[in-house]
Chain A
C-alpha cells in the first residue's frame, strides 16, 4: 500500500508542477500582451494609479529577466503564498479575493457531491434488475447526466425562483442584510443556497444512479454471485454483496467525476449570481483579470488533488485487495 500511495502522491505532485507550469507559461507564450489587455479593461481614471499598476505588473511578470529566472521567481512567490494583485479590484491581493469566494463554492460543492453520491448509489442499486424501476430510472438518469449544469440551474431559477417565487434566484444573501451570526441572516443564506445546491445535486445524482446500476448488474453476473445462487442464498444476501463490491468503483468514480462536478458548480453559480469562485471567474474574464483567473485555477487544482488523495486513502482502507497488498500478505 505504501508503494501505491507513494505512486499516487508522485502523480499528484507531478500534476501540481505541471499545473503551475501551465499557469506560468500561458500568459508568456500566448499571442498578445496580457498586461496591456488587462490594464485596458481596468477602469482606473487616476493616471498615477495606472502608472503604479503598470509598473507593478511589469515587475511581477519580470519580463526583463531571463525565462528560467522568471520561472523560479514564480515558484518562489507561490511558496510565499503570493498569487499577485487583482486588477479589477486593485490593489486587493488575489488570495484574499479567492478566500472570500471559496466558502460559498465549498458550501455548494461538498453537500452536493456527497449527498448525490449517497442517494444516487442507493437509487441505482435499487433500480438494477428491477424491470419497472429500471425502465424509469435509467432514462431519467441519462437525461439528468446529459443536462448541462447551467441549463437545469436556469430552469430551477426560472420556475421556482421567478415564476413561483419560492426561493431567491440570485445572489448569496439579500442586499438588505449585513453578514452577521443571526438567525435571520443564516436563514437568508440558506434560502439563497438552496436552488443552486439542488440544481447541482440533481444533475450529479443521475450519473451516480446509472453508474451504480451498471456496476450492480455486472456484479450480479460475477462468479461469486452465481455460486451463492447455486447454493440457494437469498437474493437479499447476493445483492448486499454486489452492492458492497459495486461501491468500490463508485469511490474511484468519485475522484474521476470531481472535475466535472466542480465545473458544474462554477456554471451553476454564474446562473444564480452566487458569490463563489464561478462568479469570480466570470467577472475576472470580463475584466481580463488574469491574476484572479490563474489564482482560481491553482486553487481548484490543489483542491482536486487533495480530494483525490483523500479518496485514495479511503479506497485503500475499504478495499481489502489493496490493503492486503500493502501488508505484503498473500500466500
Chain B
C-alpha cells in the first residue's frame, strides 16, 4: 500500500465553532493507483487533499492517522512534515496559473527550490529537460518569466516541477477546472503518462468533473458531507454504483463522456447538511429516498465486494 488513511478527522476552526470538514475518513491507495476524488463542493474533498500535504492555519487535526509507504505522516507537526513534502508528497495546486513567482525566471526558480530542498540542481537538469519535452514544452521556457507563458503552458510547467523529485504521492487539486476542454484532456493524459513512467507512484485527483475522472482514474472515491460514501473502480462507480448518493450523482450527469462544467446536482432535492453541527448517523439520510430507522446510526464503510467499499445500511 502506498497510502493508508485511517479515520482521519480534520476540522476547520471558525467563529461559530468547528466545521467538521473531514469526519472519520478511511481509505487506502495502492501503488500506481490513480484515484479520482469526487463530490459536491463543500464535501471535504479539497480539505482531504490539503490535509495530506499541508494544513492551513485554520485547520486542526483532530484524530486519525495517515501512513505513506509504511511510515506515519505527522500532518499536525509542521516541522516534521517538511522533509516529506515534495520528496514524498507533492501537490499540483488549484491555482497553478498563479503558482509561479512572477518576477523570477522559471529555470531560476526551479534552481532556488532545488537548492532549498537539498538537491543539486545540476543532478536533475537532464531529467528536467526530458520531462519538459514530454509535456511538449521547449527548454527555452526555463529562460522565461511566467507572464510569457500561456495558461496551459504554466499548468504543464507546474506539473513538471511538482513531480520532479518523483514523489510517492501526488495530489492534483482541481487541476483541469481552469482549462478548456481540449487542454483538459491533454493534461489528464500527461498525468496518466507520468504515473506510467513512474514519475509518481500514485495520485489523488480531486475534481468535481466525474466524466473526466472516469476516463483517466483507476478508482473513484465519492465523498459526502465529510464522510466517504463509496470507493470502487472507476467503471463500477459509474456503471454500477451501490450507494444511493453515488447513484443520484451519476444519474444527475447529463451523459457520461460529455463534460459538465459545474458539478451542481440539481437532480437531487435538498442540500448537504451544514458541517458546523453535523447530524448524527448517515449524513445523506435527509435526502435519501431509501432512508429508514437504522440510518440514525452511522453506517460503516465496508467492503461489499473485492475493491468496492460503501457506507450504507442498505448495501451492507
Find out whether A and B make contact in their complex, taking CB atoms under 8 A apart as touching.
Answer: yes
Beyond A230-B54, A234-B116, whether A331 also contacts B153 by CB under 8 A is yes
A-B contact pairs, 27 of them (CB 8 A): A222-B98, A223-B93, A223-B98, A224-B98, A224-B101, A226-B93, A226-B95, A227-B91, A227-B158, A228-B101, A230-B85, A230-B91, A231-B86, A231-B161, A232-B81, A232-B82, A233-B113, A241-B103, A244-B103, A319-B103, A320-B103, A320-B105, A320-B147, A324-B148, A330-B147, A331-B150, A331-B153
A window 201-239: CB within 8 A of B: 222-224, 226-234, 236-237
Chain B nearest CB: distance from A252 CB in Å? 14
Is B99 within 8 A of A233, CB to CB?
A: no
Which residues from chain B contact A244 at a C-beta distance below 8 Å?
103-104
Secondary structure call for the A interface: helix
**Other-chain contact of B102, A232, A233, A237, A320 (Cβ < 8 Å):** A320
Interface residues on B, range: 35 or more
Interface residues on A, range: 20 to 34
Query: In the docked arrangement, what's the CA distance between A274 and B4, Å?
Result: 75
Query: In the docked arrangement, what's the CA distance between A245 and B104, Å?
Result: 9
Is A231 within 8 A of B85, CB to CB?
A: yes
Which residues from chain A contact B113 at a C-beta distance below 8 Å?
228, 231, 233, 237
Which residues from chain A contact B117 at a C-beta distance below 8 Å?
231-233
A329 within 8 A of partner (CB): yes
Which residues from chain B contact A321 at a C-beta distance below 8 Å?
102-103, 145, 147
**Other-chain contact of A231, B103, B105, B162 (Cβ < 8 Å):** B162
Chain A nearest CB: distance from B261 CB in Å? 23
Chain A residue nearest in CB terms to B150: A331
B112 within 8 A of partner (CB): yes
A window 100-128: CB within 8 A of B: none
Is A232 within 8 A of B148, CB to CB?
A: no
**Other-chain contact of A245, B82, B95, B99, B103 (Cβ < 8 Å):** B103
Query: In the docked arrangement, what's the CA distance between A222 and B103, Å?
Result: 13
Query: In the docked arrangement, what's the CA distance between A82 and B90, Å?
Result: 69
Is A245 within 8 A of B147, CB to CB?
A: no
Which residues from chain A contact B161 at a C-beta distance below 8 Å?
231
A248 within 8 A of partner (CB): yes
Closest 4 interchain pairs by CB? A232-B85, A227-B99, A223-B98, A320-B145
Beyond A223-B95, A241-B104, A245-B103, whether A231 also contacts B148 by CB under 8 A is no
B100 within 8 A of partner (CB): yes
B83 within 8 A of partner (CB): yes
Is B100 within 8 A of A224, CB to CB?
A: yes
Given contacts A228-B113, A231-B162, A237-B113, 9 further A-B contacts (CB under 8 A): A223-B93, A226-B93, A230-B54, A232-B86, A234-B82, A321-B147, A329-B144, A331-B148, A331-B153
A window 309-331: CB within 8 A of B: 319-321, 324, 329-331
